[in-house]
């Protein structure tokens, strides 16, 4: 992913967090406070600001340490927010039921601790409900419940009725971050991007990757001569790499611009355990492309590395093979590209040597 795409992704995540905070604030402002609390305007403003602040401060650590936040962490955070949201919704309902009583068709905040008079009256009339106690107190809750407990209930009512809104907004936000693609992925309105390794039209039929020196180079030069004699356009480093470019850049370009890549496998080719050839080929070709476009030719018996597993390849070390290895290679390559003198075709690799 390019730096521009990463920057776009960061901005998308930031604006998504801002949208979630605004959504939570608006939803909390529209959610009316319990009638017993009163002060609808002030309570709604407090709920809106508190909801937006909860979303912002909850998402801030994840945004700051975005690289450390793996998808499973986002999913876990979303599940925790969901559980807390559901719990706060039912908690708000429970607090409203236990901290309010009805009197004259209106809700009145009551407390949890009884006054001495209220305790004596409750003991004498255990069958009475909170509504009955408030009615007998002529609608004055302080006669039955202590003022401090009434204040606690009022604060709990005001602070819990809207909490489920920012928590569920966080749940949705966390799940959105957990999705590897979708609303957080860069959006393109142009045609779908081509697969990696197929960006440019094929310039060569085959690119030959080999280890310099000894039998490897001899085999490579003979293979190039035989393929070009049959009309194939071949790329090889010593001849076709531009002198003013880096080796890795030219190798990557040759892999991208070739219909096939032939890797001459020997102990020398694999001697480092992680050759430049291996790294570049794996970078340019994904696993699906590798199995279709990479042709390993084993010129010396070696243990095949993991990055070549699943590819049949061609073994030239076998005695009396059923099919000639060179004919098998040509059958895999198929028909060569159009003649190099056709209009619109790039110059052939052979003409570059003249």
Residue with tokens 């601790």: 113
Residue 283: what pLDDT?
64
Residues 6+ apart with CB under 8 A from 86: 164
Which is more confident, 216 or 341?
A: 216
3-state secondary structure the chain: CCHHHHHHHHHHHHHHHHHHHHHHHHHHHHCCCCCCCCCHHHHHHHHHHHHHHHHHHHHHHHHHCHHHCCHHHHHHHHHHHHHHHHHHHHHHHHHHHHHEEEECCEEEECCCCECHHHHHHHHHCCCCCHHHHHHHCCCCHHHCECHHHHHHHHHHHHHHCCCHHHHHHHHHHHHHHHCCCCCCCCCCCCCCCCCCCCCCCCCEEEEEECCCCHHHHHHHHHHHHHHHHCCCCEECHHHHCCCCCCHHHHHHHHHHCEEEEEEEECCCCCCCCCCHHHHHHHHHCCHHHHHHHEEEEECCCCCCCHHHCCCCCEECCCCCCCCCHHHHHHHHHCCCCCCCCCCCCCCCCCHHHC
Q: Within 10 A of 343 (CB to CB), how many other CB atoms are there?
A: 5
144-173 mean pLDDT: 88
Residue 196: what pLDDT?
43
pLDDT band at 8 (very low <50, low <70, confident <90, very high): very low
* Tens of pLDDT, residues 166-208: 888 888 888 877 765 444 444 343 444 444 444 557 889 999 9
Backbone phi and psi for residue 281, each to the nearest 5 degrees, phi listed first: -65, -45
* Tens of pLDDT, residues 27-61: 888 888 787 776 656 677 878 888 888 888 888 77
Weakest-pLDDT range from 108-122, 135-149, 184-198, 234-248: 184-198
State the chain's mean pLDDT as an integer.
Answer: 79
Residue 250: what pLDDT?
87
Residue 4: what pLDDT?
45
Q: Is the pLDDT assigned to residue 352 strictly greater than 50?
A: no
Weakest-pLDDT range from 75-84, 234-243, 290-299, 302-311: 302-311
Residue 96: what pLDDT?
87
Apex CA 12: angle with CA 8 and CA 18, to 5°?
145
pLDDT band at 343 (very low <50, low <70, confident <90, very high): very low
State the pairing for strand pair 100-103/106-109: antiparallel
Which is more confident, 223 or 353?
A: 223
204-338 maps to which CATH number? Answer: 3.40.50.10140
* Tens of pLDDT, residues 281-298: 766 776 666 667 889 999
Residue 349: what pLDDT?
45
Residue 207: what pLDDT?
92
pLDDT band at 270 (very low <50, low <70, confident <90, very high): confident
Six-digit token string for 16: 């998504």
Q: What are the residue boundaries of the structural domains of the chain, listed by start? A: 3-178, 204-338
Q: Is the pLDDT assigned to residue 101 strictly greater than 70?
A: yes
Question: How far apart are alpha carbons 207 and 280 in whole angstroms?
Answer: 13
- Give me the percent of the chain exceeding a pLDDT of 90: 26
| Dihedral sign from CA coordinates of 300, 305, 308, 309 | positive
Backbone phi and psi for residue 187, each to the nearest 5 degrees, phi listed first: -100, 135
Which is more confident, 259 or 351?
A: 259
* Tens of pLDDT, residues 209-253: 888 888 899 999 999 999 999 999 999 988 999 888 888 888 888
Does the model's pTM come out above 0.85?
no
Q: How far is CA 17 from the centre of its chain?
A: 16
pLDDT band at 23 (very low <50, low <70, confident <90, very high): confident
Weakest-pLDDT range from 116-120, 122-126, 250-254, 339-343: 339-343
Cα–Cα distances in angstroms (integers) from residue 127 to residues 112, 121, 122, 124, in the given order: 17, 11, 8, 9
Cα–Cα distances in angstroms (integers) from residue 285 to residues 1, 233, 257, 259, 289, in the given order: 16, 20, 12, 12, 5
* Tens of pLDDT, residues 258-269: 999 998 988 888
């Amino acid at each position: 992913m390019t730096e521009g795409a990463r920057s776009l992704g960061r901005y998308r995540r930031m604006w998504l967090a801002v949208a979630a905070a605004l959504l939570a604030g608006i939803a909390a402002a529209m959610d009316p406070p319990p009638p017993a609390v009163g002060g609808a305007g002030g309570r709604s403003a407090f709920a809106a600001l508190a909801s937006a602040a909860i979303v912002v401060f909850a998402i801030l650590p994840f945004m700051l340490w975005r690289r450390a936040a793996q998808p499973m962490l986002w999913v876990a955070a979303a599940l925790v927010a969901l559980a807390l949201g559901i719990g706060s919704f039912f908690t708000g309902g429970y607090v409203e039921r236990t901290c309010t009583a009805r009197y004259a068709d209106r809700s009145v905040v009551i407390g949890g601790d009884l006054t001495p008079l209220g305790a004596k009256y409750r003991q004498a009339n255990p069958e009475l409900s909170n509504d009955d106690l408030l009615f007998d107190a002529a609608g004055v809750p302080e006669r039955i419940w202590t003022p401090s407990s009434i204040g606690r209930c009022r604060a709990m009512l005001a602070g819990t009725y809207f909490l489920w809104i920012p928590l569920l907004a966080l749940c949705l936000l966390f799940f959105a971050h957990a999705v590897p693609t979708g609303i957080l992925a860069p959006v393109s309105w142009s045609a779908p991007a081509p697969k990696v390794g197929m960006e440019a039209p094929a310039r060569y039929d085959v690119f030959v990757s080999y280890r310099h020196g000894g039998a490897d180079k001899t085999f490579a030069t003979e293979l190039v001569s035989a393929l070009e004699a049959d009309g194939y356009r071949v790329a090889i480093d010593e001849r076709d790499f531009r002198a003013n470019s880096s080796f890795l850049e030219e190798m990557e370009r040759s892999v991208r611009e070739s219909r096939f890549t032939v890797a001459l496998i020997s102990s020398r080719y694999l001697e480092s355990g992680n050759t430049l050839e291996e790294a570049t080929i794996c970078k340019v070709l994904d696993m699906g492309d590798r199995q279709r476009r990479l042709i390993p030719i084993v010129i010396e018996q070696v243990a095949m590395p993991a990055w070549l597993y699943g590819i049949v390849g061609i073994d030239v070390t076998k005695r009396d093979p059923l099919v000639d290895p060179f004919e098998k290679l040509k059958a895999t390559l198929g028909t060569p590209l159009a003649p190099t003198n056709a209009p619109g075709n790039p110059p052939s690799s052979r003409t570059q040597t003249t």
